[in-house]
Amino acid sequence: MPSLTALRAFEAAARHESFRLAAEELSITQSAVSHQIAHLEAHLGKDLFRRTGRRVELTEAGRLYFPYLREAFERIETGTRLVSRPAQQELTVQVYVTVAARWLMPRVHTLQKSCPDLHVRFNTSQMDWEFDPRNADIGMVCTVDSNRPGFSYTPLFESRLVAVCSPNLLKNQPPLVHPRDVARFTLLELYTAAGDWDAWLGPGGRSGLGEAASIRFDSYLLALEAACDGQGIALAPDFLAEPDLASGRLVSPIRHSVPQPARWYLVARQDRADELAIQRFRDWLIKEVEPLRRP
């Protein structure tokens, strides 16, 4: 096994493509960097750098070796940061306001029991914004794009869109047989999730209903409250509507549901995904969403 000093010198020199900059970073002389790399090359029996005057560039062997060392040192840095953190842990979680109010808050007591030393702050947003790492450590998001570079996505569950309304709205009304029968009522729409009605209605989408009356909101929370008040028919993810369906405040006027176009994820910056506070919240949340997972 090569010495850690030699490996560190090579990693820094390869990253900077400069012995001088590597020496400055490591607070040693340039000749010491060169000496350590020479020892490493002798150990491997391969040249790792091609020296052309004052410049150096990686050989094929050096290019092959560098990514492994870079990853290893990053993991060492992450582990050191985790171990050296104070015992009290703090975490800021980004979550949509409807999810926080209707699903997450009733479960927070189990988080407190599971992680009593974890101090959590919830940042809520009205709109379905992407995760913003400047304002939160981790986020529970609904998105179709789980491949943003630099981020780690943990799949949580898929939800279905269901139509809901107050039972009073259906009094003295003929039953709804086809999804397009909702045009007889005011549609409670989200301008932040404009594709919901298109997905639920199928071919022809929302535009196929013509001039059906509608009220537009920026969150499922408001649309569901309006539905409870008898103002019209709303669409919502099933797990958000479930509490009011269970209590009888809402009913489904037609037995028709479709998969929500986006999926629910827990997302964090890739370089922070292994931090202990994030791991503990992730483990707790995965247990909580287990009943929402479909085979």
> Is a pLDDT exceeding 80 seen at residue 129?
no
State whether 255 and 267 are in the same domain: no
The closest of 132, 97, 94, 145 to 261, measured between CA atoms, is 145
State whether 30 and 167 are in the same domain: no
| pLDDT band at residue 51 under the 50/70/90 scheme | confident
Q: What is the total count of domains within the chain?
A: 3
- pLDDT the model gives residue 56: 86
- 131: exposed, middle or buried (C-beta count within 10 Å: 0-12, 13-18, 19+)? buried
State whether 136 and 270 are in the same domain: yes
- Is the separation of the CB atoms in 36 and 9 below 8 Å? yes
- pLDDT 10s digits, 192-210: 887 888 889 888 778 778 7
Query: What's the number of CA atoms in the CB half-sphere (13 Å) around residue 169?
Result: 25
State whether 246 and 286 are in the same domain: no
- Structure pTM? 0.67
> Is a pLDDT exceeding 70 seen at residue 22?
yes
Query: What's the number of CA atoms in the CB half-sphere (13 Å) around residue 210?
Result: 6
State whether 165 and 280 are in the same domain: no
Q: What's the average model confidence in pLDDT over 81-103?
A: 81
State whether 191 and 55 are in the same domain: no
State whether 224 and 247 are in the same domain: yes
Please state, rounded to an integer, the average pLDDT across all residues of the chain.
89
> Is a pLDDT exceeding 90 seen at residue 132?
no
Give, rounded to a whole angstrom, the gap between the first and last alpha carbons of the chain: 47
State whether 61 and 96 are in the same domain: no
> Which of the listed residues 84, 100, 125 is the one where a domain comes to its end?
84
State whether 144 and 169 are in the same domain: no
State whether 210 and 167 are in the same domain: yes
> Is a pLDDT exceeding 60 seen at residue 86?
no
| pLDDT band at residue 85 under the 50/70/90 scheme | low
Q: What's the average model confidence in pLDDT over 152-159?
A: 96
- pLDDT 10s digits, 210-232: 778 889 998 899 999 999 999 99
For residue 254, what is the domain's CATH number? 3.40.190.10
The domain of 144 spans 89-157+262-292
> Is a pLDDT exceeding 80 seen at residue 52?
no
- pLDDT the model gives residue 127: 58
Return the residue matching tokens 């090579």.
10
- pLDDT the model gives residue 79: 76
For residue 70, what is the domain's CATH number? 1.10.10.10
> Which of the listed residues 84, 101, 124 is the one where a domain comes to its end?
84
- pLDDT the model gives residue 173: 92
State whether 98 and 77 are in the same domain: no
State whether 98 and 216 are in the same domain: no
> Which of the listed residues 64, 84, 104 is the one where a domain comes to its end?
84
